[in-house]
Amino acid sequence: IYITQYDPGSYAGDATRHGLQGFDYRIGRAMFETTLVPAPWKGPLKTMDEIWVPSTWGADRFVAAGLSRENVFVVPEAIDAAQFDPDLVPRNRSILPGSEGRFAFLSVFKWEERKGWDVLLTAYLTTFTASDNVALYIRANGHAGSDPKYDYDMLLLRLKIAHPPKVVFLPKVSMREYPQ
């Protein structure tokens, strides 16, 4: 059995790189954030015996793109239940600095265009003002060379917002600290 987690467009390359032809059963784990399955993925997807997706929404997208419902399975994202045990997280302190008495929004994502950081910030910045008792906390990991604070400052200039509502970029943390 061979399981790949590369994007479906690379399944054909996967077969060449890893000798996929020698396996009796092939599974492709696919995850994407669009409403349509890209056309170049359709052929490679059909070469797999099973496609695993993390949600029923994703499964519906693949079936709508022409894959057989019998070959598409929902396999949710896995977590380390021991590491992310809510009973182990201290409850006697604020996990978001400066959030006391505010309505706090928290968004955790990879800082890249396809994640919609600009859409999130534009909606927040045009909905709330500095006088609103809200705060948006962002924990974003980016690729090398990305600079969320710079992108945010440029967005403020583009939107001509001089007095924005509170936005806090949280520092990166180790995986050990993540549950907190």
For 122-163, what is each residue's pLDDT tens digit?
Answer: 999 999 999 999 999 999 887 767 889 999 999 999 999 999
- By C-alpha distance, which of 65, 80, 70, 2 is closest to 32? 65
- By C-alpha distance, which of 146, 148, 154 is closest to 168? 148
pLDDT (0 to 100) of residue 125: 98
Percent of the chain exceeding pLDDT 90 equals 43
d(CA 56, CA 61): 9
Do residues 73 and 50 lie in contact, with contact meaning Cβ atoms separated by under 8 Å? Answer: yes
